[in-house]
Structure 1
Amino acid sequence: MDRYRRLLLIADRTLHPSPAMSRAVALAGASGAALDVRVFAEPAPVVHLWEDKIDEAEYQRYLRHHRRWVADQLEQLSGLGLDVTVEVVFTTHPQLDILRCVQDLQPDLLIKDVTLEPLLKRVFVTPLDCHLLRECPVPVHLVNQIRYSLPHRVVAAVDPFDPAGMASGLNDTIIRSASALAIQCDAPLHLLYAYDLTPAFNGDAPLVSGWGADFVESLRESMHRAFIDLAERHGVPPERRHFVMGLPVPVISEFVEQYLADVVVMGTVHRTGLDRWLGSNTERALYSVPGSLLAVGHAASETRTGDAAGMAD
């Protein structure tokens, strides 16, 4: 895929300008893609004055406010030369209606602002953003803070040693998706592998012998070789390959700050049991990594990015 053909923006329900809106408009302008803007708002409030009397005036004001916003956005975005549609969907189940919208429109990318939720709430209630990461059939671009409307630097975070990712081809999907984004933004693409050696010892195997040190070095070399093979297969130049020891989310966060990366491309893998309860690295990165996240799953983007040429993720 050389260019995005259709983008879906889930606009802020407050109808205020937002980072995701800026990003979606910039990407649509750069790629020539059609832009569908949708707001999933709460239904118009029915205010009871007394007994069975309803404040019809307040109800109509609410509807007029949204209709006026739709008209203003159509005028502004069409004035930029974009092929655009704008709609408000009143719903009490935004997750279901967003997924239905994705099925109907079949966008190449869903773009949405990150909704920051308190940690305690996230423990008991899965936020909408996490549901979309797990269930959306197309790549999801969750936009937090942005330095530039159009990304200037993209970093793809891969794990060529993860059995689930290797079996599904997820790393290749991440790379193709990151490459497509970088090409359309005319931005350099960096490849990052945050490798962690501690699971090999189950947390309780002291390295006190020469054998232990040799084993660690052998494991590290195997990981590095897998990373180099992946990078070379996708044509990532050596100066943009980063092999860093440490836990994925802290390493990614530090890398983003050091290299001023605008977008981190990560993969999502369906998990069960305790892993699903704790959340994936991608979900944890959503709330701790500065900048923005592009999440892709193997099935979500294999047909959209299968022919994308370029650099690796």
Structure 2
Amino acid sequence: MSQYKKLLLIINPVLRHSPAIHHAAALAKASGASLHIAALVQSLDILALLEEGIREKARQSYLKDHSDWLKDQEEKMRGRGIEVTAEVAWADDMQQAILDHVSEMQPDLLIKQVQHESALKRAFFTPLDWYLLRHCPIPVYLVGASGHALPRMVVAAVDASDTESSNSELNDRIIQQANSLALQCNAELHLLYACDISAAYLGDMGGGGLTLADLTRELRRDLEKSFLRVAGRFGVPSDRRHFMTGSPVSVLSEFANEQQVDVIVMGRVQSHGLEKLLGSTTEHILYQVPCSVLAV
């Protein structure tokens, strides 16, 4: 049975060649879920310069153009046997408009194209995608620029370094989401852990004790055993288990590019302090990988 019954796709109707539409349609078809497309249009500042009567006509004409295009997309999807509805609406506050749609519809998944923002802009404003990762109460599927519309390779990125129950539960949710997505799409499921151990020098820890290098090797062995236990619990084949060393963002981006990954499934946690300003691993991955990211 599919884990998805209702999908919500948020699009910018100006970007009519967005891959998010094809990804959402393919997932709805594969899972048998209904799909609602919300084409949210931000207010045009230039319209404020027009007289009131002319401004209203311009707004309606602008919406009608997008509505006609969206109706054509609906008809094509229905022709493929997809249950789909759609709407075009103004959104003065995009963040709140999206969360309101989630609250009203209660979908199983929010789908949206990744919206790239410059590092300078990120320094002063929280990107829309980061905001959704932090505040959206349901899993968020952010569609990248590459990858098959229906995934063929799904990677669950887990953290085996923390055995606390909360982290273990998050790992379980990540793998369960990834496994369900892979099963629905007839894709390969891979498990990856980026082990970040820094050992810049060899130093004696004193009194004939272990060197830093020895401790690093021991820690690496323990973490690899922990990772293999997680993989074993979910029956992930040995050739699809990837224990790699390095910073998570670098490891995941290199792996995604080299292996032509379609979707990376990652966890998202509540940001605090400096991380809230700089962004979490999941948030930074959005700007480093060409594939889609499913955050749970």
* Both proteins in one fold, TM over 0.5: yes
Moved more, 76-85 or 121-130: 76-85
Distance in 2, matches of 1:220 and 1:192, equals 15
2:33 matched residue in structure 1: 33
Distance in 2, matches of 1:293 and 1:72, equals 28
Distance in 2, matches of 1:157 and 1:113, equals 20
Task: Give the counterpart letter for 1:80 in structure 2.
Answer: R
1:138 matched residue in structure 2: 138
- 1:274 counterpart SS class: helix
Distance in 1, matches of 2:56 and 2:2, equals 51
Q: Unaligned stretches of 5+ in structure 1?
A: 297-313
Greater relative CO (CA pairs within 8 A, separation 6+): 1
Q: CA deviation at 1:46?
A: 3.7
Residue of 201, 208, 212 corresponding to 2:203: 208
Question: Structure 1 residues 60, 216: CA separation in 2 closer, same or farther (over 3 Å shift)?
Answer: closer
Alignment of 1:134-173 (within 5 A): 134-162=134-162, 166-167=166-167, 169-173=169-173
Distance in 2, matches of 1:20 and 1:9, equals 8
Q: CA deviation at 1:260?
A: 1.0
Q: Number of matched residues? A: 290
> Could you tell me whether the CA contact under 8 Å between 2:154 and 2:182 is conserved in 1?
yes
Distance in 1, matches of 2:187 and 2:53, equals 58
- 1:268 counterpart SS class: coil
> Could you tell me whether the CA contact under 8 Å between 1:73 and 1:86 is conserved in 2?
no
Q: CA deviation at 1:19?
A: 0.8
- 2:221 counterpart SS class: helix
> Could you tell me whether the CA contact under 8 Å between 1:159 and 1:165 is conserved in 2?
no
Question: Structure 1 residues 281, 6: CA separation in 2 closer, same or farther (over 3 Å shift)?
Answer: same
1:7 matched residue in structure 2: 7
Alignment of 1:174-193 (within 5 A): 174-193=174-193
Moved more, 6-15 or 182-191: 6-15
| Identity over aligned pairs, percent | 48
> Could you tell me whether the CA contact under 8 Å between 1:178 and 1:189 is conserved in 2?
yes
1:243 matched residue in structure 2: 243
Distance in 1, matches of 2:48 and 2:123, equals 33
- 2:217 counterpart SS class: helix
Task: Give the counterpart letter for 1:207 in structure 2.
Answer: L
> Could you tell me whether the CA contact under 8 Å between 1:47 and 1:54 is conserved in 2?
no
Distance in 2, matches of 1:49 and 1:252, equals 49
- 2:39 counterpart SS class: strand
> Could you tell me whether the CA contact under 8 Å between 2:9 and 2:21 is conserved in 1?
yes
Q: For 1:111-165, what per-residue CA distance to the aligned partner results, in whole angstroms no more than 9, with x for missing partners?
A: 1001111110011101100000111111111111123211110111111213678
**Is 1:81 aligned with 2:81?**
yes
Q: CA deviation at 1:278?
A: 1.6
**Is 1:263 aligned with 2:263?**
yes
1:124 matched residue in structure 2: 124
Question: Structure 1 residues 214, 13: CA separation in 2 closer, same or farther (over 3 Å shift)?
Answer: same
TM-score (norm 2): 0.91
Q: CA deviation at 1:77?
A: 1.8
Q: CA deviation at 1:171?
A: 0.6
Distance in 2, matches of 1:253 and 1:15, equals 26
1:231 matched residue in structure 2: 231
2:290 matched residue in structure 1: 290
Distance in 1, matches of 2:68 and 2:290, equals 34
Q: Unaligned stretches of 5+ in structure 2?
A: none
Distance in 2, matches of 1:137 and 1:119, equals 26
Question: Structure 1 residues 90, 165: CA separation in 2 closer, same or farther (over 3 Å shift)?
Answer: farther
1:105 matched residue in structure 2: 105
> Could you tell me whether the CA contact under 8 Å between 1:48 and 1:54 is conserved in 2?
no
Distance in 2, matches of 1:17 and 1:42, equals 18
